[in-house]
A = this chain, B = another copy of it.
Amino acid sequence: VEAIRRGDPHPGLGVPAPRGVRAVPAADVAHALADADAAIVGVSSPGIHWAGRTLAASLPRRIPIAMITKGLEPTSAGVAILPDVVREALPQAVRVHPVAIGGPCIAGELARRRASAVVFAGRDAADVRFLADALATPYYRPAVAAEPVGLCVCSALKNAYATAVGLGAGLLEREGGARGPVAMHNLEAAIFARAAIEMETVVGALGGDRAAALGLAGAGDLFVTTSGGRSSRLGRLLGLGRPLADARAELGNPTLEGVDVAAIFHERLPAGVAADDVRLLRFLGDVLFGGADAARVFEVV
């Protein structure tokens, strides 16, 4: 907040905020929202309950809410998507269906106005349409999906699966690295393909539109997430044989959404999901939480 107020580059993205952006601390959110046409939630997933409470205390009236926060939350019945979690926190007068935003969108590229195609989905079609129209630019193109479960499930799972794909890089290094131009792309691609299939199955089991797995929010977001970032770097360290705690520390103790998602499926499977349906995701849980050898990933793809 202080950096943006000073006009400095965003500390994480390296570019200044566009002219007209006003940064306020959390304590002033109610004031900042007084005239707002919409609210967009961008906290990391562990902060989603805080964000829900903050919105509940700050929204002046019913306005559309969008969310780029990704994740799933275990419930007694299975798992909940985060827009539904936020909705539950809102008082009746402002209780909207938040709109989920997914698809391949590395923040640093979007901040530099590079072409980004994304997906908006929610249970309130009018709010989805309003936000998609309001936020579209020549370089940011929202498509609208029929329902939010497919998008939210894929957006959450892709972090775990990007970690699984990342195992290949670590296994290769453990074996002594690339020999000439030869890496371990065949294995990584087999993990990628298995991940896409498992995402589709979980989406279907949780009542979502299975088509999400093949599109921007599924294969597209998984593709971009494997090209860098925390999730794939974690995979590399696991592939090298590091325990989760060591790997996490080596990465600087960031939020690791994929670890949280893998934990959900490691502890208990949602109704309608069989263990073999998500054998790759379960194996990742075994590596993360049970000390399984990452080299055995070939057995589950």
Contact = CB atoms under 8 A, between A and B. Distances in A.
B224 A298 contact: no
A17 interface: no
Contacts of A200: 214
Contacts of A193: 103-104, 117, 214-216, 218-220, 223
Given A14-B180, A186-B224, A193-B216, 5 more contacts: A185-B224, A188-B227, A189-B227, A193-B219, A197-B215
A242 B200 CA distance: 38
13 contacts: A109-B182, A109-B185, A110-B186, A114-B182, A115-B298, A116-B190, A117-B187, A117-B190, A188-B227, A189-B221, A193-B218, A197-B214, A197-B215
A300 B192 CA distance: 24
Interface in A171-202: 179-190, 192-193, 196-197, 200
Interface in A205-229: 213-216, 218-221, 223-224, 227-228
Contacts of A115: 184, 186-187, 190, 298
Interface size of A as a range:
35 or more
Contact of A189 (B104, B108, B179): B104
Contacts of A179: 112
A228 B185 contact: yes
A104 B190 contact: yes
A85 interface: no
Interface of A: 14, 103-106, 108-110, 112, 114-117, 141, 179-190, 192-193, 196-197, 200, 213-216, 218-221, 223-224, 227-228, 298, 301
Contacts of A105: 186
Number of chain copies forming the complex: 2
A232 B36 CA distance: 45
A109 B190 contact: no
B186 A117 contact: yes
Given A117-B186, A298-B141, A213 B214 contact: yes
A105 B179 CA distance: 17
Nearest to A181: B108
Contacts of A108: 180-182
A115 B141 CA distance: 38
A188 B222 CA distance: 12
Nearest to A14: B180
B192 A223 contact: yes
Contacts of A190: 103-104, 115-117, 216, 220
Contacts of A301: 117
Contacts of A117: 186-187, 190, 193, 298, 301
A215 B200 CA distance: 11
A268 to B, nearest CB: 26
